[in-house]
Amino acid sequence: MSQSTSLGKGGVCVMQQEDFKPGARTQMEWGFGGRRRWRDGALLMALFLGGIGAGQFVVSTWLIDSVTSALVGLIVVGVGKTVAHLVYLGQPTRFYRLFLRPKTSWISRGLIFMVVFVAFGAAYLAPDIGFAWVPWETGSTFSDALLVGAILSAFLVMVYDGFVLLTCKSITAWNTALMPPLFFTYAVAGGTAMTYLTLIAMGSEIPNQSTLTTIDSVLLVSMFALLVIYIVNMTTSNATARESLRKLTTTKVAIAFIGVAIILGLLVPLTLTLYHEVAATETIASVLLALSSILELSGDLSVRHSILRAGLHTPVFSEGL
């Protein structure tokens, strides 16, 4: 048997770019595994942090009252999301240009919401975090108005990324009305989880435990239901959607989608929520709650990651032409 002349190296190197593929093409712009393998992941982090941070602020001011937790949420958005966006941008020094087209662009809208939210949120929290010189007090009508503004703009921050994805007409896995409610629900749940973690870290009591537990369970079940509807919807959509589903459930992405997002991020926390009722001691309860929160947040990140990875464009050229 003769040795291959080409020193055993022949014919190895063949790489076809996504945009030359005739069938469904993976989007290569957003999320880990994009064109710039790691740096493109910053965009995923930006959306994730925006959702959970805004969610945390809402939960920490509306459902419970914790200035620290609300502040953490505000910083997660104001610093975390902002930095993540700047890391992602190709030309970060021009970031201010992102706000210029709110009339047509959901990115402009979303980032304006973010700035508005941070402004309102900071103004609302200012009296309680050492800025006593501001001419309003917590509890006053003006302060309440600030809070309303903050919460409303927080809602918009929690939902806008769903709309960003929804507007991508050729990515069937994103082009569904389920995106905004899915991301919104995850943001609320993520905010709740963040709140728990912050309070546990501070060693504080978590008020309204049973109400919150009920809300958590409802959220987890809703998220699960939304994902199920999402998956079923894809099976009856077009070939590209089915290809996306195949990607979500049978390739490496399935580890994130099924493993982390569904099992670890939803089913386990759901179970933990129930066990939390019968936890023996406070410490164990806290630990379980913390664990549940961390898993839920991992699930949140994984769901967003999976959806970004499973975003396939329909083939540019359809047969039959």
Partner 1 sequence: MVRLGMVIDLKRCTGCHTCTVACKAEHHTPPGVFWAKVVRVESGKYPTVIRQAVPLLCMHCKEPECEKVCPTGATKKKDDGTVTVDSKLCVGCRYCAVACPYGARCFTPEWKDYFTGEKKPSSQFAEYSKKKWLEESDKGVVSKCNFCEERVKEGKKPACVNACPTEARTFGDLDDPESEVSQLIKKRRGMQLHPEYGTDACVYYLPGR
Partner 2 sequence: MGIEGVPESPQGYGNICAKGLSSVMMLYDPSRLNYPLLRTNPEKGIGVDPGWKRISWDEAMDLLTSKLSACLKKDPRGLYTVGSPTFPAERAFNILSFRKAFGTPNYYTGGGGLHCGNGAHMIGGIYHASWSVIPDFKYCNLAVYWGCSKGHGAGHAANVAAKQAADAKARGMRLIVFDPFLSTQASTAEEWVPIKAGTDAAAALSMANLLLNEYGLYDRDYIKWKTNGPYLVAPDGLYRRDQTSGVPLVYNTTEKRVEPFNSKRVKDCALEGEFEVDGVKCAPSFQLLKNHLRKYSPEHASEICGVSANTLRRIAKEFGEEAKIGSNISIEGKTLPYRPVASIYFRGSQGHYNQAWDCMSLVLLNHLVGSADVPGGALAFGPPVHLGYPGTGRLKYSVEPDKDGLLVAKNWPYAHLPYPPLEPKDPPERLDLQDMFYIPTYTTIMGWDNNEELWQKFKIPYRPDVMISFATNQIMSVGNPNTLLKNFLKKFNFIASFNIYSTEFEESAADLVLPDACYLERYACATTFPTVGVSCHATGLGEWIWAIRQPAIKPMYERRPMIDVILELSERLGLRDRYLEAAREWVNRAYGGDLDFKKFIGPNEKLNFEKMLDIIMKDRFGPDKGLDYFKEHGYLKWDKRIEEVYWRAFNDVRVPVYLEWIIRAGRKSKAVAEKYGVPDLVDWSAHSGLPDWRPCPTHTEKNPEYDLEAFYWRSALHTYSMTMQNPWLSEVSQNDPYTYTIQLNTETAARKGVKEGDLVWLENPKGSKARGRVHVTDGIRPDHVAIAANAGHWSKGLPIAKDKGVFFNELIEIDKEHTCPVSLGQDICVKVKLYKDGGARGG
Min CB(23)–partner 2 separation in Å? 11
Distances (CA, A) of 238 to 66, 75, 320: 47, 41, 16
Residue 278 interacting entry, from partner 2, partner 1, none, C-beta within 5 to 8 Å by type:
none
Distances (CA, A) of 309 to 166, 187, 246, 251, 315: 15, 19, 12, 11, 17
CA 206 remoteness from chain centre: 24
**Looking at 60-68, 113-121, 169-177, 203-211, which segment touches partner 1 (CB under 8 A)?**
169-177
Q: Are 116 and 149 in contact (CB under 8 A)?
A: yes
In the list 67, 83, 107, 115, the residue contacting partner 1 (rule: CB under 8 A) is: 107
Q: Are 35 and 19 in contact (CB under 8 A)?
A: no
Min CB(307)–partner 1 separation in Å? 12
Number of residues that bind partner 1 (CB under 8 A): 46
Q: Does 21 bind partner 1 (CB under 8 A)?
A: yes
* CB closer to partner 2 out of 9 and 37: 9
HEC string for 184-227: HHHHHHHHHHHHHHHHHHHCCCCCCHHHHHHHHHHHHHHHHHHH
Q: Does 16 bind partner 2 (CB under 8 A)?
A: yes
Place of tokens 């290809």: 243
In the list 35, 209, 274, 275, the residue contacting partner 1 (rule: CB under 8 A) is: 35
In the list 2, 91, 141, 236, the residue contacting partner 1 (rule: CB under 8 A) is: 91
- Site for partner 1, rule CB under 8 A: 17-22, 25, 27, 29-30, 35-36, 39, 88-92, 94-95, 97-101, 104-108, 111, 164, 167-171, 311, 313-319, 321
